[in-house]
Chains A and B, each alone.
Chain A
């Protein structure tokens, strides 16, 4: 059977990314060790090309491979975000890998492979295709998490991630197989048709739906499926943590939302309450446990759980029974906006952890930030900016993200949910500001002053500048991003 050329053109970005990834694996052994940077630049160039291709074809809805893959504004939005995030991860890693003495170009290859998986996830119109994407993404991430192979914590992180990831994939796959039993297909449109035909009380579909939600719950790190997050995030190399916290979360949310709305859209009364419960639990647990953390990476891990809770507000609104189509689309677009904003501020915060060194180690302890404002004014100020934005205080992008989410919630009649979200935003301010406090209001001890330094490579500077620019510009002039999400929202 010949594959039609039009279908290949549709997935051109995926093809570019996966070919460059393979090329990297081939080129890595034959590249002299002082030229490895070239391979990183090659991947960034590939991402730039993909960005132009995707941005150029933005808007029109195209299906390919007999409706297994769909490229619409929604998928394109996530892809654009993923290119930016992956590019920033690679740029951050150039200096970071050298500092950690793990500068193998395979790293960039795995980032690109993982990215391919994410792109397939957000473009998949079939549960099995989405599953393939998830696996490609996850397996690459398992490898990346264990990239510091001489360090026990990194290995532990990788093993933990692998076991729990495989477990959750198994649950998801089990759910998909039950769906196949009920609908006779794994394509989202046909699932929707089967849901309509079999009604809301069909126990087979209900079990399958629950399993799918649990599977995706693991991937987006929502409570009570979050247990792997802190250990994995803490043990993995920091640039990988940033990549996991941002890219894999964004892609998982992208796929999650499409499955829930396009596949199970007819069963909103069944799942909106469940998602609401998960959302509230996530908000509570993520924020409360983050308070007691003294390791910044671990604190950011819990903060990323908490932010998954905020993003879920968008899904709750989209699925809330009795809301009009316009209102539920607002829920989707506000979630997209929130995750885009979240990406910039979280990447910025993790980058700061990555470049702060204490002795030969990463400065990931809260103490390592002590008195940073005395020695590195610029770095401390950027960290202040990211923390303020994560806490959702204007005039940063974090506020805009929360504002649109709460607008959507109130619009859907969920005013109390907005109140809950805001209460926990105030709680989160406490632990974010603690970092500001140690940076600005504590004096470093003399020994510490000698030990801590900033390993600021030129590319890491670019990453920090991009993240800060995102946080400030989308905070002061959010309209381009807002209109983009509004036009790319799922109907």
Chain B
């Protein structure tokens, strides 16, 4: 552990709350400055996590444990590993951008807006760093209130409906999660809600099956997986730009993160058993989301459905249960956060000018907004998965993983990539190169420096991850290997009796998954492009 005992994570989680306190003290006009300052500070404070992170171990790092409640034993326990670290950094990076995009668009009740945004940041960071299941649940649920307010107060015309739909959907999903947490606690019987302790305990297969579906209800709604996705288009369309960005980039990752952190390690038997169901739903989501995106005339709705499709790749990657798939899934979580977040920012920028999200009202922007058009093309192509850009790497890994599991699944999923190319390029054709909408011409002007400053770091990340993903992959290797080995152990034990070895198989004998040599090949193949 290289943290040197300094409570980095607590600092990162608590800073936005201190910012909230500061916003209460200053006058309304200064609220956004404080929010920007605090969220940028949080980003800076989260960078040492990246630098000091030890990539060689799957163990949790920067761990802090303090007793919260003595009986039953619930701790304030936080830490990160290779799975949660990228998501923490993604959150801290995107929050300042959300403050920036709201700079001029949020005129009413700016103070409350910034407070909601910062509370949101604390809650999301808390979800990713919690090592105690109850603490996790507290953050997981706390997040609902600021998001409900963000959509309901500052959203579009149909905001109240969208807000309550979002709230009730996600609340209903997480009902069973709480019961499942309590049941796990009693079955593990160690008076601990610690995620690591609960992951090491063994649960009987019938119980795992129940718990798997209880977890599934909570996580699938958040992902969102088909057919639990119906809240997403409403919430995305009605939310203010910053809300959409947070929703798409951070919130949707909760579900996938939940699968990786809880379902896979705690319930390995049930995971193996129900893999095909989840994969089926993932493939349906990929294709269905893409088809729905085709039909949309509203830019935000189009991106929302493309999110359903892209998150289908993430769940696909997770449940093929091999290292390629899972690493691809995590990478794809980060990529989706960057790309979709950026696309929503782009829509927000043009909405500020034309006050319309319809494609017909925002067509032919290349002539009047050339810089904007350039950025839009970059992010749209990244969403398609063009080689050299971030999503290509993620989708490629996921498809390799899926191919190793089942060729038919991989083929169907690849169909989603083709469909994505079709609807995104069609959208680009109309928005960028179409006939300019005459009634909007007077309102269009190109991006200012602030907006460029907002999108530029994301564009940089698009190419960085696309051309040289090694730093990001190195962070996850150890954690993902650990996760896959646990799955492999179950697989070997299950097939044990029919195999040649009559001896009980210990963990040492489990052959390491064939990830390492493939990783070597992959890194080599990437190198020419970086030169």
Contacts and interface: CB of A to CB of B under 8 A. Distances in A.
Contacts of A384: 145
A341 to B, nearest CB: 14
20 contacts: A393-B141, A393-B145, A399-B141, A410-B179, A410-B182, A410-B186, A415-B179, A418-B179, A418-B182, A419-B176, A422-B175, A426-B172, A426-B175, A436-B148, A441-B159, A442-B160, A479-B68, A479-B70, A482-B69, A483-B71
Contacts of B400: none
B502 interface: no
Contacts of B149: 440
A429 interface: yes
Contacts of A486: 71
A478 interface: yes
Q: Which of B68, B152, B159, B182 has the most CB of A within 10 A?
A: B182
Interface stretch (B96-104, B161-169, B198-206): B161-169
B435 interface: no
The 5 A-B residue pairs whose C-beta atoms are closest, nearest first, are: A394-B138, A422-B175, A410-B182, A441-B152, A426-B172
B70 A411 contact: no
Given A399-B138, A423-B175, A430-B164, 14 more contacts: A373-B109, A373-B112, A394-B137, A394-B141, A410-B179, A411-B186, A415-B179, A422-B175, A422-B178, A425-B175, A429-B171, A433-B148, A440-B153, A483-B71
Interface of B: 68-72, 109, 112, 134, 137-138, 141-142, 144-145, 148-149, 152-153, 159-160, 163-164, 167-168, 171-172, 175-176, 178-179, 182-183, 185-186
Contacts of B183: 410, 415
B138 A429 contact: no
Interface string A373-384: 100010000001
A478 B69 contact: yes
Contacts of B179: 406, 410, 415, 418-419, 422
B134 A426 contact: no
Secondary structure call for the A interface: helix
B142 A395 contact: yes
Nearest to A437: B160
A315 to B, nearest CB: 19
A388 interface: yes
Contacts of A425: 175
B142 A393 contact: yes
A411 B175 CA distance: 18
Nearest to A442: B160
B153 A406 contact: no
Contacts of B167: 429, 433
A25 interface: no
A403 interface: yes
B215 to A, nearest CB: 14
Contacts of B185: 407
Q: Which of B112, B145, B176, B186 has the most CB of A within 10 A?
A: B145
Secondary structure call for the B interface: helix
A90 B103 CA distance: 47
Interface in A318-374: 373
B164 A433 contact: yes
B343 to A, nearest CB: 27
A401 B324 CA distance: 44
Contacts of A437: 152, 160, 163-164
A406 B182 contact: yes
Nearest to A407: B182
Interface in A477-491: 478-479, 482-483, 486
B152 A440 contact: yes
A393 B142 CA distance: 7
Contacts of B163: 437, 441
A483 B68 CA distance: 13
A442 B148 CA distance: 14
A322 to B, nearest CB: 15
A483 B69 CA distance: 9
Contacts of B68: 479
Q: Which of B148, B176, B186 has the most CB of A within 10 A?
A: B148
Contacts of B148: 433, 436
B502 to A, nearest CB: 39
Nearest to B145: A388
A98 to B, nearest CB: 32
Interface string A429-472: 11001001100111000000000000000000000000000000
Interface in A393-418: 393-395, 399, 403, 406-407, 410-411, 415, 418
A425 B142 CA distance: 15
Contact of A441 (B72, B160, B171, B175): B160
Contacts of B72: 407
Nearest to B148: A433
Contacts of B172: 423, 426
A415 to B, nearest CB: 6
Nearest to A408: B182
Contacts of B182: 406-407, 410, 418
Contacts of B142: 393-395
Interface string A259-275: 00000000000000000
B171 A426 contact: yes
A472 B163 CA distance: 24
A426 B69 CA distance: 25
A429 to B, nearest CB: 6
Q: Which of A406, A410, A486 has the most CB of B within 10 A?
A: A410
Interface in A177-217: none
Q: Which of A394, A399, A483 has the most CB of B within 10 A?
A: A394
A160 to B, nearest CB: 34
A403 B134 contact: yes
A353 B115 CA distance: 26
A324 to B, nearest CB: 13
Nearest to A404: B72
B157 to A, nearest CB: 12
B153 A441 contact: yes
Contacts of A377: 112
A309 B382 CA distance: 53
Contacts of A479: 68-70
Interface in A16-60: none
Nearest to A486: B71
Contacts of B159: 441
B133 to A, nearest CB: 12
Contacts of A423: 172, 175
Contacts of A436: 148
Contacts of A410: 179, 182-183, 186
Contacts of A373: 109, 112
Nearest to A479: B69
A8 B153 CA distance: 59
Contact of A426 (B109, B137, B160, B168): B168
A395 B138 contact: yes
Contacts of A483: 70-71
B74 to A, nearest CB: 9
Contacts of A441: 152-153, 159-160, 163
Nearest to A425: B175
Nearest to A440: B153
Given A388-B145, A429-B167, A440-B153, A419 B175 contact: yes
A429 B141 CA distance: 12
Nearest to B115: A381
A142 to B, nearest CB: 40
A415 B185 CA distance: 13
A482 B70 CA distance: 9
A407 B182 CA distance: 6
Contacts of A399: 138, 141
Contacts of B171: 393, 426, 429
A403 B141 CA distance: 13
Contacts of A406: 178-179, 182
Contacts of B141: 393-394, 399
Nearest to A393: B141
A403 B178 contact: yes
B148 to A, nearest CB: 7
